[in-house]
Structures are given as C-alpha cells and as structure tokens.
Structure 1
Amino acid sequence: MYLRKETIVSRDKFSLEGKNAVITGGTTGLGLSIAECMIEAGARAVVVSMDPQEVFDENLGKYGDKAAYYQFNITDTDHTQALADQIIAEHGNIDILVNNAGNHCKKPIEEMTVADYESVLNVHLVGAFAMTKAFVPHMRKQKSTSIIFQASMTSFIGQPYVMGYSTAKAGYLGMVHTLASEVSKDGVRVNAIAPGWIDTPMFRKATDNDPERKAKILGRTPMNKVGEPNDIGMAAVFLSSDAAKFITGICLPVDGGALIGF
C-alpha cells in the first residue's frame, strides 16, 4: 500500500539563496526584471550585456555585490567559452543560466535582407546555443541546476513583419525539448518562458499613440490587462527554484491567457 508522504510547502522551496544566476541581456527590460527578482529571492545575478557599464550601474548598482557585470556580445561565439570559464573562476558554481539577450528587426519580408535575418538568428539562437554549450558541462556536475530560454508569443502564433524573430523564438522550443531530453537525467532542468504583452517602455512606445492596437491586444487577452515585468521575473525564479524541481522541457506562457484568447 502506498502511503502519501506529508510535505510542507514553505518559502524555502522558492528561495534562490546562495545561488549564482547568469542572465544575458540583464541590464534593461525583462532581463533586468529577471535579475532583480532573482536577487530578491537570494541569488547573485551575473549579468552579461552589450550595454555600457553605466547602464548596469544605474539599474543594478544598488545591489552591491549581489550583482556582477560582464560586457560581452553573445554573437562573439569564438570567445563564449572563455567568458564562461572566467565567470566560473570568479564566482564559483553557476546554478542558473537565463538566455534572455535579444535582437529585433521589424520589416516586411520584401524589405528584410538575408543579413537582417541572420543577425536576429545569431543573437537569439546561435548566441544562446554557444552560451548554453559553454556552461552545460559545468552545470551537469552540480546535479541541480536550471537553464531558461526567453521565448515569446511568436513561438506559437503568427505576427507580421518579424520573420527572423519568430523563427528564433519558435526555434527555442526545439532547443528546450532536445536539451531537456539530453541533460535532465543529470539534474539540469531546461525550460522556457513565453511572455505575453508586458508593460515595458517598448510596449508603451508601441501602444500609447495607437489605441486601436492596444484595444486589439486587450481584446484577445482574457484577463483584459497587460502584465508587469516582475510577472516574468517571478516566473523565472519559480522555474529555477526547488518548487519546480520536477518541471523540465516546458514553455510556460505568462500572458494573461492571450494564447487561448479569442
């Protein structure tokens, strides 16, 4: 007879205390929110970004030694392993890797060049692959680590004028599924987050003077509102914590129900 073991749900299961998280593109936007939420959950955020040091200092300097910064272009894949080795040498074990860095090119297909397309893929797919490949051998040895890819609504639905972006974001699903099947047996969990429409400066810039577009977005979102940046940050904390210790190979929509909205 199977006897159910009593469990206690505590805040400790959601804690990232003592963990090191590498976050690409973590100085602004949703990456910044992920970094802040992980710091608040107890982790140290090791941020990799092309932004100048001043942007990091302005947005994350208040956290002192709970945040560290490395200026790096993730498309410089010849030097990704050297960066990973340096981060491990300077910070010790890396428990969490968040592939968040992105690039965007909004053009109709007639205007998009092959170079435009390749540029977006290089940032999202090739850069994320190189970063993941550089850290996976280290993370396998620890037996309890987490890799997160920042997917998108365009991983699932069509959106005009973003051919490269949607290709890359859909590609993340293949990366998550394949990588999870390879490394989960070694305690490396691999998941993705698909943000819906989130109240960021980019969203406001796109909708503040376009009430028709904003109404369309809200009309297909069952919760009838846009999300907050920390909705994405806390989803990343959850997927990296012991509360999600049996979750791997999934893409979690954080979208107010937009994917099932009509």
Structure 2
Amino acid sequence: MTDLFDLTGRRAIVTGGSAGIGLGMARGLAGKGAAVAIVGRDGAKAEAAARTLRDSGGQAIALSADVASEADCARIVAEAAEALGGVDILVNNAGTNVRKPPEDYTLDEWKSLIDTNLTSAFVLSQAVFPYMKEGGGGRIINIGSMTSLFGAPFAAPYSATKGGILQLTKALAAAWAKHGICVNAVLPGWIDTTLTEQLRKDVPHINDAVLARTPAARWGRPDDFEGIAVFLASPASAFVTGAAIPVDGGYSANA
C-alpha cells in the first residue's frame, strides 16, 4: 500500500527553522524522508539545528540569511536547490514581533515587521515557483497566527502581517493550483517558544488566560507541528489548497 505521507526524495526549505515551530516542522519533514534546508539568521544556530536532524538519521543542511533581504531570499533558494537538487516544499515560518500599544510604534518598526513576516513569504514563494513549476508541483506552507483571525491590542503590525499571510495564501493557491502547487496556512495558537517566554514575563496573567480558554488545557509545543507539516507537504493533502488550519488546542473554537 502506498504511504501517502512518504516524503522520500522531496526537498524542503524551512525558514526560521533553527528553533521553535520551524524546527518542529523541519523535524517532521526530515522524519518522513525529506531533505531539509534549515534557514536562520544565525548560521551557527541553523547548523546546530540541522545537526540534530542528521543525528536522528535525517538529511539536513544549514543556510544563513536575513529573510527581510530580497537578495538573501533569492540566494538561499538558489543554494538550497543546488545543494538538494531542487525545491519541492517551502515553509515560510520566519517571523518576529514587537509588543506595544499601536500609538507607540515607529514607522521603522512597522516596516521591519512587514518585511520580515509578510514580504519575505511573498518573495520566497516567487523564488521557489520556477522550481516547483518545472518539477510538476510543490507545497508552500505559510505560518500565520491566531492574529490572522483575531485582533491583538499589543501587536498591531504583527496582526497586520499575519492577516496578510492568510490572504496571500489564498491568492497564491488560486493562482498556482494549475501548476500542481498547493499553498496552505497553519495558524498556531499559544505555543511555548522563546518568543512567548518573554510575553509571559511581560504579561503575567497571560498564562492563566490561555489555559482558561484552551480546551486542551495546555500551551502548544513545537513537536505539535510535526504532523501538520508532513500532511501539508505530502501526497495526502493533494486536494487541499488555500486552507488555513488552526493548530491551537481548540483555542479558536472556544468562544
């Protein structure tokens, strides 16, 4: 029987793959046979992450880049394609946040968040398109957020980028389905990462609030994203495109 989740021979790029959700997704992809290029701003950290995948029997390389740079985005796609023999899967996970009231942001902070969280996903998707088209198809997985759906009073630019990710996903899905390219979004809920660690220090009540609304009664973990990455990258999701899938322990379903 054919294994619909087998990724043997597939080549993946995971931005922001050095830790957290990105590393969890990279681990899932490598575990099912994909060769993975881990992309991070810190080259040493990216290499350390790639090494953990290789130590577990996976195929992985590390690439250093600032995804807010158009030139870096083009370079890492070309380098990954050369090293791995092509690109079949792109996970647009790299992102950052600055938390403060909307009236306190500078325009430079706004632009930085837009460039890192949203523009990079567009530029990288454009860069992988020729490889996927020539190869007869591919998978793009964009990482949104609960703020793709809900507003956050302390993260207006971040929320704008994640709302944009959702609409970009739908637009690319509609445009590229004819080329066999499926484009979907994953919407993480409250996940225990280094980014949210600082949030819990800054907003002491946030932990209790999250647990109270989340039916699963816990914060998510990076390994909760291994399965969704495999599903959306594999033949099992061949007729799924333009979707936005919450991975949030039921948070968004619990009004």
Superposed displacement of residue 128, structure 1: 1.3
Moved more, 26-35 or 202-211: 202-211
Separation in 1, partners of 2:188, 2:180:
25
> Tell me, which stretches of 5 or more residues in structure 2 are unaligned?
none
* Equivalent residue, structure 2, for 1:196: 189
Residues 27-75 of structure 1: per-residue CA shift (max 9 Å, x gap): 111111111111111111101110132x133333133371111111111
* Equivalent residue, structure 1, for 2:70: 77
Moved more, 140-149 or 63-72: 63-72
* Aligned residue among 150, 158, 163 for 1:165: 158
> Tell me, which stretches of 5 or more residues in structure 1 are unaligned?
1-7
Separation in 1, partners of 2:117, 2:65:
14
Separation in 2, partners of 1:174, 1:46:
26
Distance 1:13 1:250, change over 3 A: same
* Equivalent residue, structure 1, for 2:27: 36
Residues 99-127 of structure 1: per-residue CA shift (max 9 Å, x gap): 00101111112210111001000001111
Greater Rg over alpha carbons, structure: 1
Superposed displacement of residue 206, structure 1: 3.4
* Equivalent residue, structure 1, for 2:8: 17
Residues 71-101 of structure 1: per-residue CA shift (max 9 Å, x gap): 1111110343233223212211211000001
Q: Root-mean-square deviation (CA), in Å?
A: 1.8
Matching of residue 116 in structure 1 with residue 114 in structure 2: no
Matching of residue 213 in structure 1 with residue 213 in structure 2: no
- After TM superposition, the structure 1 = structure 2 runs for residues 107-186 of structure 1, keeping only pairs within 5 Å, are 107-186=100-179
What secondary structure does 1:14 align onto?
Answer: coil
Q: Tell me the TM-score normalized by structure 1.
A: 0.90
Separation in 1, partners of 2:71, 2:198:
36
Matching of residue 60 in structure 1 with residue 50 in structure 2: yes
Aligned residues: 252
